Amino acid sequence: MEKISTDVTVQHWWFPGGSIPVQLMKQGFSIVNSVQVFLYLDGRFAENRQFPWTLNLTLLWSGAPGGKGWALNIFSTNDPTNNTSIDNPLLRGSIMAVWNDWGNNATPLEIYY
């Protein structure tokens, strides 16, 4: 079984199984924080409000552990062990994701946003 090169940067946005960002950084991977709970948006109203279409400002300003505001090193709202230090050299930054979850129903603007 081949090992994935640590020369790649992982855009981390979800916590399935054991692929949490702190574990990935311990393995030598660089991480860009795009964690879904803070930074994921959908460009339209989803059924049952499954995905947010605006940022949750309350969560951004007070949803981090201890009631603090979000910062690029915060991956978990309730487990500080899943967060890293702000000066971790493997933490490359953060990015908000505006996803196009609408397939053939997406407009050109939504596709290339």
Q: What is the pLDDT of residues 60-86, one digit of tens each?
A: 899 888 888 899 999 988 888 889 999
pLDDT at 91: 97
| Total count of domains within the chain | 1
pLDDT at 56: 84
The answer to whether 77 touches 67, Cβ cutoff 8 Å, is no
**In which residue ranges of the chain is pLDDT below 70?**
1, 17-19, 45-49, 101, 111-113
Q: Is residue 77 part of a domain?
A: yes
pLDDT at 3: 87
pLDDT at 52: 74
Q: What is the pTM for the complete model shown?
A: 0.79
Q: Is residue 4 part of a domain?
A: no
Q: Is residue 106 part of a domain?
A: yes
Distance in angstroms (rounded) separating the CA atoms of residues 70 and 88: 16
Q: Is residue 41 part of a domain?
A: yes
Q: Is residue 69 part of a domain?
A: yes
Supply angle C-alpha 107, 112, 113, rounded to 5. 95
Q: Is residue 3 part of a domain?
A: no
Q: Is residue 43 part of a domain?
A: yes
Q: What is the domain range of residue 57?
A: 9-112
Q: Is residue 2 part of a domain?
A: no
